[in-house]
Amino acid sequence: MLEEYDYHRRRTERAAFETDRMLVIGDVTLPPEGYQSRFSDSLNRAELEFVPLTNCDVTSLADGRTHRQDFIVLSKRHIRLAYPVDPPGEAPASQEA
């Protein structure tokens, strides 16, 4: 029997992915909390070969041109570097000592 997922409870995290030819910045959809809710968990899942991204900015590393894509499925095999980024216009949370 198929499980029914509550997609309204999902959260997105903005992340950057660098390949040999391009830099892709897009939204990764993650569970709200608990099992596999971290950004690194989505990259380390061995059974998934691709990372689906939405609201992407794709920049060519050859000429610096950027274009917008609503949806991309990026092969994990081509990812050289991946890291979470702050959404545009939002300052990082300040850390108090």
Domains for the chain: give ranges and CATH numbers. 10-84 (2.30.30.100)
* Distance, CA of 71 to CA of 60 (rounded, Å): 17
Confidence bin at 2 (pLDDT 50/70/90):
very low
* The three-state (H, E, C) secondary structure of 45-79, written as one string: CCCCCEEEEEEEEEEECCCCCEEEEEEEEEEHHHC
Give me the percent of the chain exceeding a pLDDT of 70.
74
Give the chain's mean pLDDT: 81
pLDDT digits (tens, 9 = 90+) for 16-71: 999 999 999 999 988 776 666 677 777 887 888 999 999 999 999 999 999 999 99
pTM of the predicted structure, to 2 decimals: 0.75
